[in-house]
Amino acid sequence: MYHPKVYERSSRSYLEPLGLTKPQPTKALNEEKVEFALKTQYTYSNTDTTSICQFVYGPGWQLYGPQEMVDLMRAATGWDIDVAEMQEIGRRRLNLMRAYNAREGLARDADTLPKKLTRQALEGGRSDGIILNEAELEAGLEMYYRQAGWNTNGVPTPETLRELGLEWTAVELQGE
């Protein structure tokens, strides 16, 4: 059912509960953009963990944002959670998956994009003419790892795992 109040909300109002309040230049790859990537990844990780339908939620958050997700969780479960706790659920899941991948031998060398994205310009749409810079991507990956609390190999640090109550996953994961 169409609800005008929902459709009037801006993407900025959906990002504010995540602490993302400083718009950035489109082509910037800086700390703020990396923080955006990480926090929105926590949000999507939460949707997988709590079985919130991503088909309805969608990549554009057209129907509801983080606060509405919390409201839905409260109504469905009776849990008294807030946006920060919802983010923490997603953060725990992401770190648990990363620890599992590290145990299985996957780390930084698996965090790649197809080489064609750094060798030929994209064609069509809003990305027309853009070619990704490998050095910028590497710097962005380093920022992401640091903000996520991972080591330079992309593995959660013991401190991060302890903070999340996942210290039991840290067995032999810290190879640099």
Give the domain extent around 33: 4-169
Position 79 pLDDT exceeds 60? yes
Output the pLDDT for position 23.
87
Residue type, 59: P
d(CA 44, CA 165): 20
Cβ atoms within 10 Å, residue 67: 16
Position 107 pLDDT exceeds 80? yes
> What is the count of structural domains for the chain?
1
Considering the domain boundaries, does residue 50 fall inside one?
A: yes
Q: Which of 42, 41, 34, 46 is nearest to 146 (CA)?
A: 34
% of the chain exceeding 90 in pLDDT: 50
Structure tokens at 161: 């795992």
Position 75 pLDDT exceeds 50? yes
Output the pLDDT for position 4.
45
Position 3 pLDDT exceeds 70? no
2-16, 19-33, 45-59, 72-86 — most confident range: 72-86
Confidence of residue 172 (pLDDT cuts 50, 70, 90): low
Considering the domain boundaries, does residue 92 fall inside one?
A: yes
Considering the domain boundaries, does residue 176 fall inside one?
A: no
Confidence of residue 61 (pLDDT cuts 50, 70, 90): low
Residue pair 58/68 in contact (Cβ under 8 Å)? The answer is no
Output the pLDDT for position 15.
84
Question: Tokens 């990780």 correspond to what residue?
Answer: 45
Four-CA torsion 83, 150, 32, 57, nearest 10 degrees: -40
CATH number, residue 129? 1.10.599.10
Taking residues 13-29, report their average pLDDT. 86
